[in-house]
Structure 1
Amino acid sequence: MKLNFKKTGQGEPLIILHGLFGSADNWFSIAKELESDFTLFLLDQRNHGDSPQSEDWNYDVMAEDLKEFMEDQQIDSAFLMGHSMGGKTAMNFAMRYPEKVRKLIVADIAPRFYPLHHQHILEGLNAIPIETLKSRKEADDILSQHIKIPGIRQFLLKSLGRGDNGGFVWKINLPVITEKIANVGEALETDNTFSKPTLFMGGENSDYIRSEDKKEIESLFPNSHIIYIKNAGHWLHAEQPIAVVETVKAFFKK
C-alpha cells in the first residue's frame, strides 16, 4: 500500500508513526523542532489520514506498509519512532527487519496485550450522522455526550474532512476500525529479539507502560531502557512537546 506522508528537514532519516485515530499531522509540531537534525517522514498509516483504506488492518500489514514505503523512498535504514498503535507497528517492523532500523523509540505502549478500552470513543464517533452532518459544532455536540474532555474531542474531530461533494467524510476507516478494534491491542508475537538501542518513552501519568512490563520489554529488546516524561499522559507529545523533542534528540543523536 502506498502511504500518504509528509517530508521535512535535513539530515539522517527519521520515520514517525502516529497512533490510533491519529494522522501524520499530530506530529508536525514535533517535526518542526527536529528538522534541523533529521530528514523526517511523517506517515499516515492505512485507514488513517490521507492514506488508502482497506479491509485488511493489523500489525502484519502495517509493518509491510512501512517496508514498502522505505523501499519506494530508497531508505536503506532509518531512525524509527511510533506512538501507541504506531509504536506497536514499529516494534513489529523492527523484529522483522532489524537491519532497516538504526535506533527505535516506542512512545507510551508496551509489547503486551491490551484489552478493549476504546468502546466509548467508537460509540461516539459512530453516533455522528456523517451523511447528514451540517457542521463541526454539531459533531462536537454529539461526541460530547460520549467524551467529556474537549481536547480529546478536538483530536478525534481532526479526522473529519470534506468530500468532493462538499459534505463531511471520515478520513479514518471507521467501519473497519470499529469491526477490528481488537487487533490494536494484540501482543507482540515473535520469537525474535531486537538488539539495537531502543527507548520506551512513557507518560508519567499514563498506565500504558507499567513497572511489570519491564521484564517482557527487556527480554524482547535487550538493549533498551524506559523513561517517563513528567506531567504527561498518553498523548505525551501534545502535553509535553519540549520534553519529547529533547528526549528524541538526545537518544537518536548520541
Structure 2
Amino acid sequence: MQLNFKIQGEGKPLLLIHGLFGSLDNLGGLAKVLAEHYQVYQIDLPNHGQSPRAESVDYVSQATAVKEFLDQQNLKQVTVVGHSMGGKVAMMLAQLHPAYLEDLVVMDIAPVNYQVRRHDAVLAGLNASMAQPILSRKDAEAKLAEHIVEPGVRQFLLKSLAKQEDGTFDWRFNVPTLEMHYEDITGWPEQGIFEGETLFLKGANSDYISGEHRADIERQFPHAKAHVIANTGHWLHAEKPDTVARVITRFLTNSER
C-alpha cells in the first residue's frame, strides 16, 4: 500500500499521524512549527484522505501500513507523533516494531478499549449526506446539521469533502468501512510492551485520558511521561499548536526526561 504523504522541514525524521475522519492536513499547524527543527512527514492513514481504501481498520493492519511506509521512505529511526486514533496506530507500531521508533508521542488517547461510542451522531450525519449525490458543501453541511450540533465538528468533517470529476462531492474517508469496523477503532488489541521513551499529552478539558487509564499506560509504556496542556480539549494540537510543539520539542531534546 502506498500512503499519501507530504514532507516539510529538515533534520531528524518525525512522523505525524492524524485521527479518525481526518487527514494529513489536520496536523498542518503542528507540522509547520515542528518543521523548524525536524523533517516532518504527514501521512493519510488507510481509508482516509488520498490514501488507498482497505477492508479493515484494526490497529495491527493500520500499523503495518505505516511500517510499510517507513520502509518505502527508508526511515529506520523516527519519532512518531499520533493524535487520537492516530495515537493508537502509533502505539501499535511501537509495540509491533519498536526498532523503528526513536521516540513516541501520543496525543490525548490511551492504550485501552473504550466502551463508549462517541461518533454515532457523526456517522448518522455522514450517512444522511450520502443518501443522495452531494451537490454542494452547503447541502452537505445542512445534512450534517440534522445530526451534529457542534459547528466545529461539522467544519472539521467538511475539510474532507472533495469535489469529483462529475461536479458532485464525496467524502475522502471510507464511511462504510469505518462504520462497519467502528469497534476495532474504539478497541485495543494490546501487543506487548514498548520500552522506549514515550510522552502522553492530555488536553486538560478532555476525558480521553483519565486516572483509570494510568495502570494500562504504565504497564505497556513503562518509560512514559505525561504532560497536560492547559485550557485545551481533545483537539489540543489545533487549539494550541505552538504550545504542543514546544512541549514535544522539549521532550525530544531531553530536557523533560
TM-score category of the 2 structures, normalised to the smaller one: over 0.9
Task: Tell me what 1:223 maps to.
Answer: 223
Residue range with higher mean Cα deviation, 108-117 or 78-87: 108-117
Equivalent-residue separation in structure 2 for 1:247 and 1:93 (angstroms): 22
- Output aligned runs, 1:138-217, within 5 Å: 138-190=139-191, 192-217=192-217
**Residues 1:49 and 2:45 aligned together:** no
What secondary structure sits across from 1:126 in the alignment? helix
Equivalent-residue separation in structure 1 for 2:133 and 2:47 (angstroms): 22
Could you tell me whether the CA contact under 8 Å between 2:144 and 2:154 is conserved in 1?
yes
Could you tell me whether the CA contact under 8 Å between 2:82 and 2:89 is conserved in 1?
yes
Could you tell me whether the CA contact under 8 Å between 1:130 and 1:169 is conserved in 2?
no
Equivalent-residue separation in structure 1 for 2:244 and 2:122 (angstroms): 26
Equivalent-residue separation in structure 2 for 1:207 and 1:188 (angstroms): 21
Could you tell me whether the CA contact under 8 Å between 1:128 and 1:142 is conserved in 2?
yes
Residue range with higher mean Cα deviation, 71-80 or 180-189: 180-189
Equivalent-residue separation in structure 2 for 1:22 and 1:140 (angstroms): 17
Quote the offset at 1:165 in angstroms. 1.9
Could you tell me whether the CA contact under 8 Å between 2:113 and 2:187 is conserved in 1?
yes
Quote the offset at 1:129 in angstroms. 3.3
Equivalent-residue separation in structure 2 for 1:142 and 1:206 (angstroms): 27
Equivalent residue pairs, number = 253
Amino acid at match of 1:99: A
Quote the offset at 1:179 in angstroms. 0.9
Quote the offset at 1:130 in angstroms. 6.3
Equivalent-residue separation in structure 1 for 2:188 and 2:181 (angstroms): 15
Task: Tell me what 1:110 maps to.
Answer: 110
Equivalent-residue separation in structure 1 for 2:162 and 2:17 (angstroms): 21
Equivalent-residue separation in structure 1 for 2:97 and 2:236 (angstroms): 27
Runs ≥4 in structure 1, deviation > 6 angstroms? none
Equivalent-residue separation in structure 2 for 1:169 and 1:205 (angstroms): 33
Amino acid at match of 1:8: Q
Quote the offset at 1:41 in angstroms. 0.4
Quote the offset at 1:160 in angstroms. 0.8
Equivalent-residue separation in structure 2 for 1:112 and 1:54 (angstroms): 24
What secondary structure sits across from 1:227 in the alignment? strand
Amino acid at match of 2:49: G
Equivalent-residue separation in structure 2 for 1:216 and 1:150 (angstroms): 34
Equivalent-residue separation in structure 1 for 2:172 and 2:84 (angstroms): 19
Residue range with higher mean Cα deviation, 130-139 or 11-20: 130-139
What secondary structure sits across from 1:15 in the alignment? strand
Amino acid at match of 1:171: R
Amino acid at match of 1:212: E
Task: Tell me what 1:19 maps to.
Answer: 19
Let me know the Cα RMSD of the aligned residues. 1.1
Amino acid at match of 1:51: S
Could you tell me whether the CA contact under 8 Å between 2:59 and 2:188 is conserved in 1?
no
Could you tell me whether the CA contact under 8 Å between 1:88 and 1:188 is conserved in 2?
no
Could you tell me whether the CA contact under 8 Å between 2:136 and 2:168 is conserved in 1?
no
Equivalent-residue separation in structure 1 for 2:217 and 2:15 (angstroms): 22
TM-score, scaled relative to structure 1:
0.97
Structure 1 spans left out of the alignment, 5+ residues: none
Amino acid at match of 1:18: H
Amino acid at match of 1:162: K
Could you tell me whether the CA contact under 8 Å between 1:131 and 1:167 is conserved in 2?
no
C-alpha distance after superposition, 1:220-250 (max 9, x if no partner): 1110112111111111111122211111111
Quote the offset at 1:159 in angstroms. 1.3
Could you tell me whether the CA contact under 8 Å between 1:131 and 1:168 is conserved in 2?
no
Quote the offset at 1:166 in angstroms. 2.1
What secondary structure sits across from 2:114 in the alignment? coil
